[in-house]
Amino acid sequence: MKGKQVAPDAAAQIDGMIFAVLLLDPEGCIAQANSAAEEMFGRSAHKLIGEHLLQVLRIENERVSASLERGEMQLIARSLSASMMGEARCINLTSSPLNSDPSWRLVTLSEASQDDAPGDVEENNELRAPAILAHEIKNPLSAIRGASQLLSRRLGERDKALTQLISTEVDRIASLIDRMQQLGAKSSVTNGPCNLHQAIRAAMAVMRASRTRDCELVEEFDPSLPAVAADEGALEQVLTNLISNACDACRDVEDAKVMVQTRYSSGSVFNAIRFGKATRLPIEITVTDPGPGIDPALQDRIFEPFVSTKPLGQGLGLALVRKLVRDMGGRIAYHRDERASLTHFRINLPLAG
């Protein structure tokens, strides 16, 4: 008979959590930090210990910040805009006192963004319905287009413009339906080692060829980055969409520059339940534009289908971007820096292999 297994102690259990866990003393200073906290802050526990929480984590929401300062009994906050070691982040936060000594608190932190959704099952069900409807609509559309082509052969030149209008509008609706079907379709990406900068430059080349005077495209790459785990075609499609949106956003800005940056972000840990484990996404791509940004009322919904800030927008572009990024195992987030008047879309991807 085997001997009884000894369970790991509390410190080992906390160190194994995918969330950043900080123990605060009665003064609000960090007394302990687990490995996930080291990853998130990009600093060792040795350097974090002794620092006041609100010195290393600056929270924009004054009410939440004041609650942490006062050490209130319990606090739960989601999707907070914060600055962590000078870097803008979107986080979830909890704070609760220890039962043994309420003056000491345990704080947990995790990444949050517009990309965080209620769950894959609900999202897939939500997107599957329009995909099924799209399939049913395409058949009568084909019949309408065919009928307009037959009519055009029997009409005079003056009336042919009407049949051409019908065909054009049918094609426009069919294109919209194709995009709806893409949203509801199962993942079609095939991840493999991908040259990140090659995909970015291909997308930028497409934009330079199609936009001659809207804005200047600028690259700021880290040439030392290794290959990422991604589908090169899907990644190029994602970047083409984001760069196009960025150019549209700064159309009225004089001497506008859209910048695409890459870097290694050691603190990026995506706590993805659907993967069953913490997945590190250290490779970061940022598309930045100097446009006016997105209406604050829509910022939390910009990745949802049929939500658009453009007068004639269909609201499918960013929804499809999010789907493709998720299918590749990554994440995407929107951030507005009002102080610098810049809009950032950040993609985080895993390393190949």
**Residue 217's pLDDT band (cuts 50, 70, 90):** very high
Q: What mean pLDDT is predicted for residues 14-26?
A: 85
Where is pLDDT greater, at 1 or 171?
171
**Residue 139's pLDDT band (cuts 50, 70, 90):** low
The structure's pTM equals: 0.61
pLDDT tens for 257-284 read 999 999 998 766 554 444 445 678 889 9
Q: Would the pLDDT of 113 be above 60?
A: no
Which tokens is 81 given? 């805009």
Q: Would the pLDDT of 286 be above 90?
A: yes
Query: Exposed, middle or buried: residue 323 (CB in 10 Å: 0-12, 13-18, 19+)?
Result: buried
Q: What mean pLDDT is predicted for residues 123-132?
A: 52
Q: Would the pLDDT of 29 be above 90?
A: yes
In 3D, which of 102, 100, 104, 78 has the Cα closest to residue 271?
78
Concatenated DSSP letters of 22-89: EEE-TTSBEEEE-HHHHHHHTS-HHHHTTSBHHHHEEES-HHHHHHHHHT-S-EEEEEEEEEETTEEE
Size of the chain in residues: 353
The span from the CA of 331 to the CA of 279, in Å, is 11
Q: What mean pLDDT is predicted for residues 333-350?
A: 91
Predicted local distance difference test score (pLDDT) of residue 170: 75
5 — phi, psi (to 5°)? -70, 135
Q: Would the pLDDT of 189 be above 90?
A: no
The span from the CA of 114 to the CA of 95, in Å, is 22
Mean pLDDT taken over the chain: 80
**Residue 131's pLDDT band (cuts 50, 70, 90):** low
Q: Would the pLDDT of 254 be above 80?
A: yes
Strand-pairing partners, residue 289, are 343
Where is pLDDT greater, at 151 or 125?
151
Predicted local distance difference test score (pLDDT) of residue 157: 76
Q: Would the pLDDT of 196 be above 50?
A: yes
Predicted local distance difference test score (pLDDT) of residue 132: 57
Which positions ≥6 away from 235 have C-beta within 8 Å? Answer: 194, 196, 199, 324, 328, 349
* All structural domains of the chain: 17-111 (3.30.450.20), 120-184 (1.10.287), 192-349 (3.30.565.10)
Q: Would the pLDDT of 212 be above 60?
A: no
* Lowest mean per-residue pLDDT among 46-55, 121-130, 181-190, 316-325: 121-130
Predicted local distance difference test score (pLDDT) of residue 160: 77
* Lowest mean per-residue pLDDT among 151-155, 173-177, 337-341: 173-177
Concatenated DSSP letters of 186-232: PP----EEE-HHHHHHHHHHHHHHH-SSS-EEEEE--TT---EEE-H
* Lowest mean per-residue pLDDT among 57-61, 68-72, 145-149, 209-213: 209-213
Q: Would the pLDDT of 248 be above 50?
A: yes
Q: Would the pLDDT of 150 be above 60?
A: yes
pLDDT tens for 37-72 read 888 887 888 889 999 999 889 888 888 888 888 876
